[in-house]
Amino acid sequence: MGVVNITKNTTMICAPLMAQSVEQVLSNMYQAKAEGADVVEIRLDCINNFQPGKDLEIILTKKPLPVLIVYRPKWAGGLYEGDEHKRLEALHLAEDLGADYVDFELKVASNILGKQYSSHQSGTRFIVSCNLDCETPSEEDLGYLVSRMQATGADIIKLVFSVNDITEIARIFQLLSHCQVPIIAYSVGERGFVSQLLSPKFNGALVYGSLKGTPVSGLPTVESLRQTYKVGHINADTKVFGLISKPVGHSKGPILHNPTFRHVNYNGIYVPMFVDDLKKFFSTYSSPDFAGFSVGFPYKEAVMKFCDEVHPLAQAIAAVNTIIRRPSDGKLIGYNTDCEASITAIEDAIKERGYKNGTASFGSPLAGRMFVLAGAGGAGRALAFGAKSRGARVVIFDIDFERAKSLASDVMGAARPFEDILNFQPEKGAILANATPLGMHPNTDRVPVSEETLRDYQLVFDAVYTPRKTRLLKDAEAAGAIIVSGVEMFLRQAIGQFNLFTGKEAPKEFMREIVLAKF
Ligand SMILES: O=C1C[C@@](O)(C(=O)O)C[C@@H](O)[C@@H]1O
């Protein structure tokens, strides 16, 4: 096993192991190695009936990867409740037996490291850690804390935060980029997730990832860090793109955009961003590093007021799903790629399978047709404007009748109360488009219309993309309609975004292959 060192310039992936037996620790270590971890963190306090001499000997002689030893006491959020002296003895024994890294909590570190640092002969490196489960401190207080930690003689310092808002993570990035010793700093939870993913960009020394089959809430998996985000390729110049949404964990954007960036040799990363407050978000992440954003539920309309310019189509739709920061002046420009994505997906499906008599048609196959739309939110507005632009007659249903009426007046269509959609009898050959979340995972049983009405639709489109074939689409297929999955719209809107994000032509076939293989 080659020596792997935590330094200031490389980010390694660490798998935290909380196994309850030594056998389990060993098998987890091999699993971590196979999944691509560089180092494992072993929590001795999780091992039942831990016997330092015997257990450490086994772990440290059989380790297939460098190990970081942690023995967390109850007073620092761990499980160890015994004698403090014995705990520290076990940590020193780990050092003597050749542990690569040993973690001491800040509270005990100055006593220990201060004394022994000069006589510290082993190759073990000391991590001094501090878990801040209060609000993220100000930059000044953080600076002070870091100096105290450095003064202990630590080789590496580690800070774990709990953040209430994604904007607090900016302080972690500041800290990572300015610290003079190797530093590990991150936050867990949905709002803190991005601190792990972007840590390599800001020079963090370690990123934590969980193992397959043992997910740790708020941590990416080792496999996703290696395969999807390729953290080993991220550096200070990497441009950050993010999906602004709430919730955000469901999105498949990262598994589509990240490999595509690499495929065209573009130095970018695409990350989920759990945003609570748009105003705070845009004023915090205003540097050129944050080069563009996808915008998802529920912000497609609200985000417009934070754009310096909005493309006329997005302006008409009154919904933005893509923002780029213009490199020349840093201004935020809003676009809508949902509209063309959904309408061309529907048009192409009709063109491919819809012309029964084989005659080609000029113009859009939507011209003159009835287009029944469920949902008048951001995605619904994009569909309604797209359908209208192709000459369709749009009939809109939304639980908020006023919202349906307002969209109907924008596209010269008709609005109907939402209760009526269930049994609404469309004209023959009409198109049905679902732009409500009905049927989305995990509520996959829900449908906006009754089965009996489906046989009159020539084509049914569902903007929901998880699952790929929703119950609505299954029923529609059984009734003989052409069906178009939201996955097709997702792919096409992402292709449009990729062009805008990178200024390069998106490799469409490559992106389609990912979607076919992974969605
Ligand atoms: O509606 C969607 C889906 C999305 O929000 C996502 O979940 O990845 C990304 C947006 O760009 C797109 O318009």
Nearest CA to ligand 1 atom 2: 296
* Nearest C-alpha neighbor of 201 from the set 277, 334, 291: 291
CA distance 208 to 210: 7
* Nearest C-alpha neighbor of 255 from the set 234, 226, 284, 232: 226
The interface predicted TM-score (ipTM) is 0.99
Residues belonging to the chain: 519
Beta strands across the sheet bearing 393-398: 414-417, 393-398, 370-374, 430-434, 457-462, 482-484
Task: Specify the amino acid at residue 460.
Answer: V
CA distance 254 to 494: 11
Output the pLDDT for position 4: 56
DSSP string, 117-159: STT--SS-EEEEEEEE-SSPPPHHHHHHHHHHHHHTT-SEEEE
* Nearest C-alpha neighbor of 486 from the set 353, 357, 382, 332: 382
CA distance 121 to 96: 10
Which of 246, 274, 293, 295 has the most ligand 1 atoms within 8 A of CB, as the residue to mutate?
295
User: How far, in Å, is the centroid of ligand 1 from the Cα of 195?
Assistant: 21
Per-residue pLDDT of the chain (519 residues; tens, 9 = 90+): 444 566 556 789 999 999 999 999 999 999 999 999 999 999 999 999 999 999 999 999 999 999 999 999 999 999 999 999 999 999 999 999 999 999 999 999 987 776 555 445 678 999 999 998 777 788 889 999 999 999 999 999 999 998 999 999 999 999 999 998 999 999 988 899 999 999 999 999 999 999 999 988 889 999 999 999 999 999 999 999 999 999 998 899 999 999 999 999 999 999 999 999 999 999 999 999 999 999 998 999 999 999 999 999 999 999 999 999 999 999 999 999 999 999 999 999 999 985 554 555 678 999 999 999 999 998 999 999 999 999 999 999 999 999 999 999 999 999 999 999 988 999 999 999 999 999 988 889 899 898 888 999 999 999 999 899 999 999 999 999 999 999 999 999 999 999 999 999 999 999 999 999 999
Distances, alpha carbon 288 to alpha carbons 191, 239, 332, in Å: 22, 8, 11
Residue in the block written with tokens 């510290």: 120
Q: Which atom of ligand 1 is nearest to the CA of 253?
A: 8
Yes or no: say if 470 and 462 are a contact pair by the CB < 8 Å rule: yes
Output the pLDDT for position 354: 59
CA distance 400 to 1: 63
Q: Which atom of ligand 1 is nearest to the CA of 296?
A: 5
Please indicate whether residue 340, judged by its CB atom, sits closer than 6 Å to ligand 1.
no
- Number of helical (H) and strand (E) elements in the chain, helices listed first: 17, 20
Which of 270, 273, 294 has the most ligand 1 atoms within 8 A of CB, as the residue to mutate?
294
Catalytic machinery residues: 300
Q: What backbone phi and psi angles, to 5 degrees, belong to 372?
A: -95, 120
Output the pLDDT for position 384: 97
Output the pLDDT for position 358: 52
CA distance 301 to 318: 6
Please indicate whether residue 336, judged by its CB atom, sits closer than 6 Å to ligand 1.
no
Yes or no: say if 22 and 55 are a contact pair by the CB < 8 Å rule: yes
Output the pLDDT for position 39: 98
Which of 241, 245, 323 has the most ligand 1 atoms within 8 A of CB, as the residue to mutate?
245
Q: Is the dihedral of CA 3, 6, 9, 11 positive or negative?
A: positive
Residue 455, helix vs strand vs coil: helix
User: How far, in Å, is the centroid of ligand 1 from the Cα of 300?
Assistant: 9
Output the pLDDT for position 6: 64
CA distance 448 to 201: 44
Output the pLDDT for position 357: 44
Please indicate whether residue 338, judged by its CB atom, sits closer than 6 Å to ligand 1.
yes
Contacts of 445 (CB under 8 A, 6+ apart): 439, 471
Nearest CA to ligand 1 atom 13: 321
Yes or no: say if 146 and 138 are a contact pair by the CB < 8 Å rule: no
Residue 333, helix vs strand vs coil: strand
Task: Specify the amino acid at residue 337.
Answer: T
Please indicate whether residue 245, judged by its CB atom, sits closer than 6 Å to ligand 1.
yes
Distances, alpha carbon 205 to alpha carbons 42, 110, 158, 225, in Å: 17, 22, 9, 14
Task: Cite the beta strand spans of 381-429 per DSSP E.
Answer: 393-398, 414-417
User: How far, in Å, is the centroid of ligand 1 from the Cα of 270?
Assistant: 12
Residue in the block written with tokens 């069906």: 483
Please indicate whether residue 453, judged by its CB atom, sits closer than 6 Å to ligand 1.
no
CA distance 302 to 54: 60
Output the pLDDT for position 2: 43
117: tokens are: 């640092």
Output the pLDDT for position 353: 82
Kindly report whether the peptide bond that precedes residue 288 is cis, defined as omega within 30 degrees of 0: no
Yes or no: say if 100 and 123 are a contact pair by the CB < 8 Å rule: yes
Yes or no: say if 485 and 473 are a contact pair by the CB < 8 Å rule: yes
Output the pLDDT for position 134: 74
Domains of the chain: 12-236 (3.20.20.70), 253-336+494-518 (3.40.50.10860), 360-484 (3.40.50.720)
User: How far, in Å, is the centroid of ligand 1 from the Cα of 251?
Assistant: 7
Nearest CA to ligand 1 atom 3: 296
Q: Helix 486-502 and helix 253-263: axis angle, to 10°? A: 40
Nearest CA to ligand 1 atom 6: 251
